[in-house]
């Protein structure tokens, strides 16, 4: 196997092992471009909830140690040393519940659960300590016998320096999950990495997803929905506001729309997938804006590209809001009311404000160019002392153009 074949081999499928069942299922990137592993997947609420419920349920089950009786029955062996280890305390650092919860968590995330078996001089088991599955390898020696290879680090103990420990099967409690060779299980997270990666990508763009769900719930409500913007309705909040039958905005409130954004990692194909996803999200957002404002899709797309901020008057003018919330006023006393024939004035259209980040950036750039321009660098001392070379005389350029009269005659001939 060459060097390049090792570096660029496919890492999204298990490999067959003739020398043993080493854990060689790499996780890496998913089709959504998000990197998925056992730890990042636990940040997903669905994965965390499933792991927690299953682990706590298994850890909470009663665990007793039994022995067979002479008549073929069984009874609790409370006096056996293993009864205390399994039922109460596998090691001085954790209870039986915590120990089983930890092993079950490892089994659900990595597909394998390992624990080191500590024995005394007589060979009796006196302790069980969990081992991290991502640092354990199951191999075969030259004689075909299984052995476990565990990598220790500074996290294990302050006195331990990075090294590898070889453990025989008699010193390891191994609980494998579903696997292909019967020796090691494969990680359920690795098997479902594409679905989890898509969920992570959607959660990072969670504002859009959550806004879409809230928008749908408000739109399906049978009664009338009145949305009041009393502060700021920016980004996904502006989408939710579009679900109102009546949208009222405070005189001092703001509304902002912009393009959806996310973060992606990977090669050009993964970047293209992320770009396509953002384009579809933008189109879905525009759908809500079109239904409320009646503006054209190109105009709304341009406003989103420019990251547009609107005050109350501009939001009403463009159709994002229906009206401006009036301030509550007390009833006027006698003699202090409005004069006859005087009408209440509404804010003029020219008092509205529309702020575009792109327009502001372009305006600033134009001012900088106009102020400073492209100045030539000052000549150094050597260039100032240099005697200029005599200019070469060149022949005067001959005019090759035509006069306006000649062109008009030509145009008249073509018309005929």
State pLDDT tens for residues 272-309. 888 888 899 899 999 999 999 999 999 999 999 998 99
Tokens 């476990």 sit on residue: 148
pTM above 0.75, yes or no: no
Phi, psi at 393, each rounded to 5°? -80, 130
For residues 355 and 232, give the distance between their C-alpha atoms in angstroms, rounded to a whole number: 14
Q: What ranges do the domains of the chain cover?
A: 12-134+168-194, 206-327+352-363
Tokens 């953002």 sit on residue: 278
Contact between 225 and 285 under an 8 Å Cβ cutoff? The reply is no
Contact between 92 and 107 under an 8 Å Cβ cutoff? The reply is no
Q: Is the pLDDT of residue 43 over 90?
A: no
For residues 197 and 35, give the distance between their C-alpha atoms in angstroms, rounded to a whole number: 7
Question: What is the average pLDDT across 9-28?
Answer: 43
Question: What is the average pLDDT across 7-29?
Answer: 43
Task: Give me the pLDDT at residue 19, please.
Answer: 37
For residues 374 and 384, give the distance between their C-alpha atoms in angstroms, rounded to a whole number: 21
Read off the DSSP letter of residue 298. Answer: H
What's the mean per-residue pLDDT of the chain? Answer: 77
Identify which of 114, 128, 113 has the alpha carbon closest to the alpha carbon of residue 82: 128
For residues 190 and 47, give the distance between their C-alpha atoms in angstroms, rounded to a whole number: 13
Per-residue model confidence as pLDDT tens digits over 65-78: 888 888 888 888 88
Task: Give me the pLDDT at residue 229, please.
Answer: 92
Contact between 64 and 83 under an 8 Å Cβ cutoff? The reply is yes
Contact between 108 and 116 under an 8 Å Cβ cutoff? The reply is no
> Under CATH, which number does the domain 206-327+352-363 receive?
3.90.226.10
Q: Is the pLDDT of residue 55 over 70?
A: yes
Task: Give me the pLDDT at residue 11, please.
Answer: 39
356: CB partners within 8 A, 6+ apart: 303, 306, 307, 308, 309
Q: Is the pLDDT of residue 23 over 60?
A: no
Task: Give me the pLDDT at residue 165, please.
Answer: 86
Structure tokens at 61: 């089950």
Distance of CA 154 to the CA centre of its chain: 31
Q: Is the pLDDT of residue 64 over 70?
A: yes
Q: What is the DSSP string of 122-137?
A: TS-EEEEEEE-GGGEE
Higher pLDDT, 264 or 103: 103
Q: pLDDT category, 367, cuts 50, 70, 90?
A: confident
Q: Is the dihedral of CA 227, 303, 274, 39 positive or negative?
A: negative
Structure tokens at 390: 């005599």
Task: Give me the pLDDT at residue 10, please.
Answer: 41
**Greatest distance between any 2 Cα atoms in the chain:** 127
Distance of CA 359 to the CA centre of its chain: 29
Distance of CA 392 to the CA centre of its chain: 66
In which element (H, E) is residue 176 found?
strand 172-176
Burial class (CB in 10 A: 0-12, 13-18, 19+), 102: middle
For residues 160 and 153, give the distance between their C-alpha atoms in angstroms, rounded to a whole number: 6
Identify which of 232, 226, 250 has the alpha carbon closest to the alpha carbon of residue 326: 250
337 CB-side CA count, 13 A:
8
Tell me the H-state helices in 175-235: 188-191, 193-204, 206-219
Identify which of 367, 25, 73, 406 has the alpha carbon closest to the alpha carbon of residue 189: 25
Answer left, alpha or beta for residue 123, where phi above 0 means left and psi between -120 and 50 means alpha: left
Q: pLDDT category, 391, cuts 50, 70, 90?
A: low
Tell me the H-state helices in 230-296: 236-241, 268-293
**How do strand 163-167 and strand 146-152 relate by DSSP bridges?**
antiparallel
Contact between 238 and 211 under an 8 Å Cβ cutoff? The reply is no
For the chain, the distance separating the N- and C-terminal CA atoms, rounded to the nearest angstrom, is 80
Q: pLDDT category, 98, cuts 50, 70, 90?
A: very high
């Amino acid at each position: 196997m060459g060097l390049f074949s090792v570096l660029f081999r496919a890492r999204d499928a298990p490999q067959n092992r003739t020398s043993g069942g080493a854990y060689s299922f790499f996780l890496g990137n998913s089709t959504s471009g998000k990197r998925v592993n056992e730890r990042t997947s636990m940040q997903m609420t669905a994965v965390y909830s499933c792991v927690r419920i299953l682990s706590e349920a298994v850890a909470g089950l009663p665990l007793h140690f039994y022995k067979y009786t002479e008549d073929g029955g069984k009874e609790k062996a409370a006096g056996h040393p293993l009864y205390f280890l399994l039922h109460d305390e596998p090691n001085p650092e954790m209870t039986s519940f915590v120990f089983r919860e930890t092993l079950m968590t490892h089994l659900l995330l990595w597909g394998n659960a390992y624990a080191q078996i500590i024995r005394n001089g007589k060979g009796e088991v006196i302790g069980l300590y969990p081992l991290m599955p991502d640092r354990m390898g199951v191999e075969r020696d030259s004689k075909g016998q299984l052995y476990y290879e565990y990598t220790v680090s500074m996290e294990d103990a302050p006195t331990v320096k990075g090294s590898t420990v070889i453990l025989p099967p008699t010193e390891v409690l191994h609980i494998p999950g579903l696997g292909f060779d019967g020796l090691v299980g494969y990680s359920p997270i690795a098997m479902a990495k594409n679905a989890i990666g898509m969920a992570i990508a959607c959660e990072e763009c969670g504002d859009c997803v959550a806004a879409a769900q809230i928008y749908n719930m408000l739109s399906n409500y049978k009664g009338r929905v009145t949305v009041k913007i009393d502060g700021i309705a920016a980004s996904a909040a502006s989408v939710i506001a579009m679900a109102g039958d009546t949208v009222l905005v405070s005189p001092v409130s703001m509304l902002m729309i912009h393009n959806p954004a996310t973060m992606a990692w990977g090669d050009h194909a993964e970047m293209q997938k992320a770009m396509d996803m953002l384009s579809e999200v933008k189109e879905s957002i525009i759908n809500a804006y079109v239904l409320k404002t009646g503006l054209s899709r190109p105009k709304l797309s341009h406003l989103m590209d420019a990251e547009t901020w609107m005050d109350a008057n501009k939001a009403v003018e463009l159709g994002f809001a229906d009206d401006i919330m009036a301030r509550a006023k007390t009833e006027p006393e006698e003699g202090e009311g409005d004069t006859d024939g005087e009408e209440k004035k509404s804010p003029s259209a020219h008092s509205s404000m529309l702020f575009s980040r792109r327009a502001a950036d372009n305006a600033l750039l134009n001012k900088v160019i106009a102020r400073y321009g492209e100045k030539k660098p000052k000549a150094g001392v050597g260039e100032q002392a240099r005697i200029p070379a005599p200019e070469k005389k060149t022949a005067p350029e001959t005019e090759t153009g035509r006069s306006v009269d000649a062109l008009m005659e030509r145009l008249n001939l073509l018309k005929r």
